Amino acid sequence: MESIIIAQMAVSGAFMGLVYALIAYGFQLTYATSKSINFGQGELVMVSAFFSLTLITVGLPYWLVVPGGLFFGAILGLFVERAGVRLALEQKSEGWILLTIIIGLFGFSAAENIWGRDDRPFPTPISSDSIQVFGVSITPLEISVAIGVLAVMGLIELFKRKTLLGKAFEAVSADRDAAELMGVSATRTIMLSYGLSGMVAAMAGILVSPITTVGPTMASALILKAFSVAVVAGLDSGFGVVLIGLFLGALESLASFYIGSGWREAPGLILLILALAVRPNGVFGKASIRKV
């Protein structure tokens, strides 16, 4: 029975890990084009989830709530870029770090005032009755998380590889000045990356909320682990965040079962510290060569 329990814990944890991976992927998108990330990404997940919940409570069907939530997330992402990142980047300053944290805090207060401090259930038409696979029970809800995460990431990767706009996105990551000389506007590409990143955050919120409930504090728990995943995997491998996400999710679920639920955050932090000490570019990151 012991091995079944371990497998059960690992599998449920791994599904959560995919959500961390999706949020970490949002970091990668903006880092690629602008070498900046939104430190308020967790609040973006939370506010988008609340917004989607509101859409549900006003009676919108679920298949309209998802695109609505994603659109809202993209708008928030664009807002973060305009208000918190663009001016700092234009002045080649690191001010975006503080500004994005502040926008996140503002989002937190706004959520408390608009939606209240309580955690709320997030209704979904997808069933949470478990089905047995090799003795491990899996719910359709968990499968929807996996499909949602992989579909969003797959679509964005397809966009980057198959469309000219996507290639321009990659060109700006590779050499911003040279991309400008081709007629690619770096400013617009960075806007696009923040829009996509916001959309990805909203998707994470919509997927995770039926499992965890929605509340203002959901942001901090998610962001810490997403950040660990991003750092451990490296900021330029989409494939890496999925693997590390699965691994970390399984690990923390096992830790909370065997050591105690208070130790849930421990594996993420230990991995984060280890990665920073041993491989600061990430397990899947390319070593950046800087010519002096």
Rounded CA-CA distance 55/193 in Å is 25
The secondary structure of 232-292 as a DSSP string is: HH-TT-HHHHHHHHHHHHHHHHHHHHHT-GGGTTHHHHHHHHHHHHH-TT-SSPPPPP---
Rounded CA-CA distance 100/108 in Å is 12
Is 190 one of the binding residues for other proteins (CB under 8 A)?
no
Among the listed residues 75, 110, 186, 224, the single contact to other proteins using CB under 8 A: 186
Nearer to other proteins, 172 or 255 (CB): 172
CA 12-14-15 angle, 5° bins: 70
Nearer to other proteins, 12 or 173 (CB): 173
Nearest to 73 by CA among 170, 185, 202, 178: 202
Nearer to other proteins, 34 or 209 (CB): 34
Q: Which of 157-163's residues contact partners 24+ apart within 8 Å by CB, and which partners? A: 157/238
Among the listed residues 175, 220, 263, 280, the single contact to other proteins using CB under 8 A: 175
- Please give the residues from 51 up to 110 whose contact with other proteins meets the rule CB under 8 A: none
How many residues at the interface with other proteins, by CB under 8 A?
20
- Please give the residues from 106 up to 165 whose contact with other proteins meets the rule CB under 8 A: 163-165
Please choose, out of 85-93, 180-188, 204-212, 216-224, the segment that lies near other proteins by the rule CB under 8 A. 180-188
Nearer to other proteins, 34 or 139 (CB): 34
Q: Where on the chain is the footprint of other proteins (CB under 8 A)?
A: 163-165, 167-168, 170-171, 174-175, 177-187
